[in-house]
Amino acid sequence: MLQVRKQEEEETEEELSPEEKRILERKLKKERKKAQKKLMREAMPGAEKNQPKKPSGSELALDYLTTWAGSPQGWKFQKTRQTWLLLHMYDKDQVPDQYFSILLQYLEGLQGCARDTTVQKAEALMKEYDQSDMEDDLLEGKRGRIRKVLQLLS
């Protein structure tokens, strides 16, 4: 099959412009590389399973938070971790209670736009939840967390 394809390519190559030839060569290179990877995967079926699992966003963010609290010398600011924490701080499943108290301490040092945005979002969420008729334990937990954040940052 590859020989037939090569013959077809050689016949059409004569009719192609230099730009079209370059594009065709790139496509062929990609196909060869893909086929080579497939062969490698088939040759080592257990290789992918042995690779260590990458930590999730929540694990990385909570580790970032505990490093901040435990050893400030080894801690380095990471915007992606802070953003994740700010987005998920009201969810008890994502940020358990044991980490929320550390997060509140972390929020004390929050500055600039991040602080302003966090306050605005918290106020908007509080209004939304106050207007909601639902009485739910999960909702009450979020309201409590929002209140604590607003008290801290306002």
High-pLDDT (> 90) share of the chain, %: 44
- Enumerate the H helices of 44-136 as residue ranges: 47-50, 57-70, 79-88, 97-108, 112-131
Q: In this predicted structure, what is the pLDDT of residue 29?
A: 93
**Contact between 58 and 94 (Cβ < 8 Å):** yes
* Ramachandran bin of 112, using left for φ above 0, alpha for ψ from -120 to 50, beta for the remaining angles: left
Q: In this predicted structure, what is the pLDDT of residue 54?
A: 81
Mean pLDDT of the chain: 84
Mean pLDDT, residues 8-19:
68
Buried b (16+ CB within 10 A) or exposed e, 95-120: beeebbebbbebbeebeeeeeeebbe
* Per-position DSSP letters for 2-56, written without gaps between them: HHHHHHHHHHHHTTS-HHHHHHHHHHHHHHHHHHHHHHHHHH-TTHHHHSPPPPP
Give the span between the Cα atoms of 24 and 33, in whole angstroms: 14
Phi, psi at 126, each rounded to 5°: -65, -45
Q: In this predicted structure, what is the pLDDT of residue 78?
A: 93
Q: In this predicted structure, what is the pLDDT of residue 38?
A: 86
In this structure, the chain runs to a length of 154
**Contact between 142 and 97 (Cβ < 8 Å):** no
